[in-house]
Every structure is written in structure tokens, then in C-alpha cells.
Structure 1
Amino acid sequence: MGISTYYQEQYQPSADYPQFSQEQKELINAVLTLGYNTDTGVKYGGSPEDEYIATQILVWLIAHKQLGTQYENQIVSEFTVNSPGAKAVFTKLRKAVMDYRTIPSFACEDSKYASSHTYELKYNAQTGKYETTLTDSNGVLSEFSFSQPGVSFARTGNQLKISSEKTSFSTVSGEKKLPSSIAGVVKGASRYWLNEHYQNVVTFEVGGEPLPVKAYFGLEVKAGDLKIVKTSEDGKVSGLPFHISGSGVEKDVSTGLDGTVQTNNLPAGTYTVTEKTPGQYVQPQSQRVTVSPGKTSVAAFHNTLKKFRAELRKTDSAAGTAQGDSTLDGAVYGLYQNGALLDTYTTANGGKFTTRYYPCGSGYTMREISPSEGYLLDETVYPIGAEPGNFTLENNSIPLTVTEDSVMGSIAITKHTDQPAEGGGSDQIEQPEQGAQF
């Protein structure tokens, strides 16, 4: 250990060391790595002699299975009675050795067991990230650093705050930050030497890098599935677009031929599902759906067609109401779409009728087929204006006013006056009168 011995004296290798338990060997190697040697110098604020004594005492305690027993304090006090500085160093070294293999309480030493130390991250809407906070009850978190691409680790005391925009992770690994004064690890088996006249010693060689102390744990964003089921009044259910929003997800999907679409592995949480409804349908309300881990949540949407009806009112083009013996009732009108006759309707109750409901669309017109009595045929083609973009509700009424021209006749008036017959007498002859005003 860098302290001179009487090397002229013959030391015999002890048969004890090979018989040490694996735990004893690991502890001795930890002592020799963290304790005093001339290559790395002092580490715990004591003199070289104090740190040497403290290191040697700890080796003896381990070798003789007295570490942690009721006799430990007595042994340490006796060996340091003349070296109080060594006792203070011993306390620090002992803690360093005992903590050397100690990892944070939320982690494990072997990566293959990380699945049993896996922690769920939950979405934080304020930060837009998945987060969790782990607490180390072993009090060694400050000695470790953790890393994984795309994951942020922030340490505050014994708490480790983890945040990420990712939803899938590999095993998180952490490594103990060893003091820079540690030169390396013990190479090969340490050798334990005995001499009946001088102190027993342990020899070792240091080389390479310090043996790392690693810790592992897992992260997960628990996931579920979301299925959208689409039905429609007109039976058209494929290719309809939806938007899924929530828990950090913004995703567009479209229904398949059967009117369904399923999105798998969504982070557990609450989502808003909105249909990007084609114009011919009434816009259904968005739905809030909770996705639970390992389950499939369903959001069902039904498309209702926008519809219209025409409310026609027929008027006299001159008087507004029917004149004379003419009537506004009995006129026959045709409802057309793109030139094709759909239905006919007859005016009544003062020249009115209301159609049934039709799906909103373009190309709807109204045209008179036969006039009512006393009126001329109106050949005007009246656009109805039933395009879907004009409406938001399911049922809509469109007023339509049409005018009619009355059938006009002519009157011939002849004015006569009685004139005496030529030659006198009482006979009178009717004669046309010119210039009379009526």
C-alpha cells in the first residue's frame, strides 16, 4: 500500500484470502480502491499516516469479520488511540466503502432487472412533456448521473425529475461519479500476507479505470387504443377524416371501408376527437374520450345530412292577389335538380305550398309546369339556393316568392245615337257617334 515493510523478512501468503467470501473480497477491493495508496495520495483530509492506518484497520475488520459487529468501535478506538486523525479518516472511508456499491433506491444493479424498476411518465399539459419524479431513499443520488437520448434529468436533493417528449424508451442507465483521485481498480486477486514478527499486510496493484458502479431503471408512457366508429344517414362511412388531440398527440386519421379506424399505443390520458365533416353533413360535436392503459376506448360518430324544404308563395305580378275570376291556387310547379324533375307540387291556400325535405346540394331549381286559372305560364327558372355551405342545421326552410301575370282580354265599345230618318217622320235611325269619351 505504499508503506514500507521489512521486506527482508519473509512473509508467508495466508491461506485465509482464497477462503474469503465474495462479499469480503469485494469489500477489501473497495477499501484498497478508495483507501490510501502512494499513487493517489490522501483523499479524506488526513495525513498519509492517518489515511494509511484507517485503510489498514478497515481491511482487518473485513478480514476478521468484525465489520458491523458490536466490537467494531472498540477495535477502532484501540488502534487509533494514538492517532485521533486516523479515526476521523476511518469514519469517512468506511462510509465511502459501504456506499460504494449503494445505488439509488429506485434503481437496480443489473439491467436485466430494469423491467421490475419501471416508472410511468404522465403528460403535463403546461410543459407539453411526459414527466415523473423519483425519490432516492438511500441518499446517494448526488453521486450518480443518468442519461438517455431525448430524456432530461434534473436532480434536486434526493429527487430526480425526469421529463421527455418521447413515448418509448430504452433502459435508463446511470453511473456513479467516482472521485478523480481514484487511480483505477485492483488488478487480479489481492494477496494477504502474514508475518509473526510484523504486521500482516495486503498487497495489490492498481491499474486501468475505476470499476464503475452502475444503476438501471425503466421508463414508460402507459398506452391504450382508441377506435373511432362512423355511421351515416346516407351510408357513406369510408374516407372520413378525424383529428385526435391530447396528451401531447396531434394526429389525423381517416375511416376505412367499414367506417372504423383504430389508433394504437396512445399514451393513457384524455383526448378530443373531432370529425372534419364534409359540408353535406351537420357538424357533430367533438367528443372527449379517456384512453386507459391496455384497453380500447371507442368514440362513435353519426353523420346527419343537412336538409331543406322550399316554401313557395305565388303572387299576382300586378296586384299581389288574384284579380277577378282568376285564382292563384291550382298552379303546378316542378322541383328539379340539375334539370331532372324530382317532384311536383300544386299551389293552394292562396297560392302556397311547402315541399318535403331534401338533402342539401347544388343545382336545385323550381319551375312552373302549368299555371292556375286566369294566369299565364311563368317560364322563369327559380334557383333555390340549397347548397350545404349555406346551412349548419339539419332541417332548413327556404322561402321562395314567384310572380304570375294575369291573362289579359280586350273590350270593344261602339257608341250609337238615334238620328231622325231622312224625310221626317217618327222613325229613328241609330247612328255611330264619333268622339265619345269613356
Structure 2
Amino acid sequence: MSDNQETLLGQIFLYAYAKKPSNLYSYSEYLPQYIATQLLVWEVIAGQRDAQFNRISNGYTPVKDVLNNFKNAEVCKQVKNFYESYEKNIKTGSKEVSFAYKKDSLAKENALKCGSDGTYTFTDKNGQLNNFDVTVKDGSVVSKSATQLKVKAEANKLITMKQNNVNASGERCGMLVLTNGSNNQTITKLQADPRDYYAAVKGVENGSLWIKKSSPDDNKVEGITFHITGNGIDGDYTTGKDGYIRIPGLKPGTYKVSEKTSSIYTNVRDKTVIVEAGKTAYVLFVS
């Protein structure tokens, strides 16, 4: 059995019916589910499913012919419904989380930069996020939908996504059995294939603030003091010879810039500026 076949069987046992009815030779409510599952297992073993779980023709009897030979039309209908439902769930659920990685080391190498609001937003092109529970180390989930995950976290932390559509024990398993009606031979016992994915975040990038003071004729004005408040900053800064104040390493957020009055410049209004992560904000005072 190839690695690909084992993976596909694991997905069948995860999304289809992995138990065994008490009596295979009499009807029960679970029998159609069991038969539908075994038909999918047969397709994998017979090489009639590719890596994306698409059906392929290779000369063996196709499942549709098996379904057409059912003597009980109602049971056939039920089996077909379960078969198609399981097939759809396997195809949909087997898609990966597009932004995440199966190894935490790769996630750390491709860590996401912080947004301007101090959060991290991941977009899943495959729409699989509702199938996963998200844990943020030293952080929290701000919001989550099928396609988008927004988190708040400390610098250089790992995000774990664990598949949530498994039973309480976290795993399901099934038996792959050959039978001639009286004797059974177990080929292998396979666990379901619940998946874990990882993503990582970089530290919150600081921004910078540049304040320029100039005259109406665009001359640089040196020695003018400004008071700046916001996000832990509360202090005075003075323009240099080029008329600028340059403040690096500011946390993303809103700041208030106030020019201190002097005998030369009066009636100057305060200004509010937003500093974004990894960017420089500019404020111009002309008088």
C-alpha cells in the first residue's frame, strides 16, 4: 500500500463511518453508512482515487455499477447519499489552510508582520478555518471566519490550528479487511488523519514620526519645541537646524502633537497623527 493510499484511507476514516455494525448481514440504521464507507475504501485500494480524491478509471468495476446492482432500492438510495456526502466532505476537508505550515519551524521562518493596529490578520484562500480550533501562545483570537483569522499576540509567538471535526478522543480508526464470507484477514488498522497546522507572528514593528516646522516661504525653522503625547509618550522635542524633529521607535497608534507657544508663533493648533507599524508619519507646521 502506498503512502498516498494510507493518507486517503485516513481521511475516509476521519470523514466517513469508521465503526462496524453489530451485524453485517441484517439491516440497521448504520449499515448504509458502513457500506458507503467501504465503497470509498475499495476505490482507494483499487487505485480509483487520485491524491485529490478525484475518481479515476483504471479498468476495475466502478462504484456506480455496484450501486446499480443493489436489490433494495431504498438501501441503495441511502448508501448513495452517504457515499456522495462522505466524498464531498473528504474533498473539502482535505484542503490545506493556505497560509499555514505542517512544521512549526517553517511557520517561524515565514512569520507574519504586524498590522498597523497591532494585530495580525491571516487569510485562508481555501476557506478551511472553521474546521480548526486555534490556539495563540501568549495571545488571543480577535476574530475567526472560514477565510480569515485575526489574532493579537506577543512577538515571535506560534499559532496552532488543530482540526476540530474529530471525536472526543481526538482520533478515529478503521479496519481494512479482506473476507471471503467466512474468514477475515485484517490487512491493516489505520488511524484517521486529523491535521495540525502552524503559523507564526513577528514582533510588533514600531513606526516613526517626523515633524517639520517651516515658515510660509518654506524656510526651515530651528529651535521650536513641540509636546507629543500618546501610547506611553509624553515629552518635549525641539526642531533641529533643518527644521525637523525625528522620533523613531514609536508604538503604532494615535499621537497628539502640540506646538508650544512663543513670542514669534502664536495661535498654532494641535494636530493628531496616526503612526503605523513599519512606517513613518509626517506632520507639517507652517507659520
Q: Does the TM-score normalized on the shorter chain lie above 0.5?
A: yes
1:75 aligns with 2:59: no
Q: For residues 205 and 23 of structure 1, do their structure 2 counterparts lie closer, same or farther at Cα, with a shift above 3 Å needed?
A: closer
Cα drift, residue 66 of structure 1? 0.5
Q: Residue 157 of structure 2 corresponds to which residue in structure 1?
A: 170
The residue identity in structure 1 corresponding to 2:258 is T
Q: For residues 255 and 120 of structure 1, do their structure 2 counterparts lie closer, same or farther at Cα, with a shift above 3 Å needed?
A: closer
Contact 1:120 / 1:222 at 8 angstroms: preserved in 2? yes
Q: Distance in 2 between matches of 1:256 and 1:40?
A: 81
User: Match for 1:61 among 27, 43, 52?
Assistant: 43
Contact 2:255 / 2:275 at 8 angstroms: preserved in 1? yes
1:85-144 CA-to-partner distances (Å, cap 9, x unmatched) read 222222222333334442344444333236647376344xxxxx858584x443433322
User: Match for 1:153 among 139, 143, 148?
Assistant: 143
Cα drift, residue 270 of structure 1? 7.1
**TM-score, structure 1 normalization:** 0.44
The residue identity in structure 2 corresponding to 1:138 is N
Cα drift, residue 260 of structure 1? 5.6
1:23 aligns with 2:4: yes
Q: Residue 252 of structure 1 corresponds to which residue in structure 2?
A: 234
Q: Distance in 1 between matches of 2:45 and 2:113?
A: 40
Aligned pairs for 1:268-417 (under 5 A) are: 271-275=255-259, 277=260, 282=265, 284-287=268-271, 291=275, 294-297=278-281
Q: Distance in 2 between matches of 1:224 and 1:161?
A: 24
Contact 1:230 / 1:301 at 8 angstroms: preserved in 2? yes
Q: For residues 253 and 79 of structure 1, do their structure 2 counterparts lie closer, same or farther at Cα, with a shift above 3 Å needed?
A: farther
Q: Residue 180 of structure 1 corresponds to which residue in structure 2?
A: 167
Cα drift, residue 62 of structure 1? 1.3
1:162-217 CA-to-partner distances (Å, cap 9, x unmatched) read 365x7856333322212437773559xx87758799787544276xxx76422334
The residue identity in structure 2 corresponding to 1:53 is I
> 1 or 2 for the larger relative contact order (CA 8 Å, sep ≥6)?
2
User: Match for 1:118 among 112, 121, 129?
Assistant: 112
Aligned pairs for 1:37-116 (under 5 A) are: 37-38=18-19, 47-67=29-49, 68-71=54-57, 75-80=62-67, 81-82=69-70, 83-84=75-76, 85-111=78-104, 112-113=106-107, 116=110
Contact 2:257 / 2:272 at 8 angstroms: preserved in 1? yes
Contact 2:120 / 2:201 at 8 angstroms: preserved in 1? no
Contact 2:206 / 2:251 at 8 angstroms: preserved in 1? yes
Percent identity between the aligned chains? 18
Q: For residues 48 and 203 of structure 1, do their structure 2 counterparts lie closer, same or farther at Cα, with a shift above 3 Å needed?
A: farther
Cα drift, residue 23 of structure 1? 1.9
User: Match for 1:226 among 195, 200, 209?
Assistant: 209
1:49-99 CA-to-partner distances (Å, cap 9, x unmatched) read 322222222222112221123439962223333241222222222333334
1:265-300 CA-to-partner distances (Å, cap 9, x unmatched) read 543x7754224x377785654455575664545657
The residue identity in structure 2 corresponding to 1:152 is V
SS at match of 2:80: helix
Higher percent of residues as helix? 2
User: Match for 1:140 among 128, 134, 139?
Assistant: 128
* Structure 2, gaps ≥5 residues long: 23-27, 215-221
Q: For residues 225 and 185 of structure 1, do their structure 2 counterparts lie closer, same or farther at Cα, with a shift above 3 Å needed?
A: same
1:262 aligns with 2:262: no
Q: For residues 191 and 93 of structure 1, do their structure 2 counterparts lie closer, same or farther at Cα, with a shift above 3 Å needed?
A: closer
Q: Distance in 2 between matches of 1:287 and 1:173?
A: 42
Larger of the two Rg values belongs to structure: 1
The residue identity in structure 1 corresponding to 2:228 is H
Q: Residue 384 of structure 1 corresponds to which residue in structure 2?
A: none
SS at match of 1:97: helix
Contact 1:54 / 1:90 at 8 angstroms: preserved in 2? yes
Contact 1:170 / 1:218 at 8 angstroms: preserved in 2? yes
Aligned residue pairs, count = 258
Q: Distance in 2 between matches of 1:291 and 1:25?
A: 52
**TM-score, structure 2 normalization:** 0.62
Contact 1:270 / 1:289 at 8 angstroms: preserved in 2? yes
Cα drift, residue 255 of structure 1? 4.0
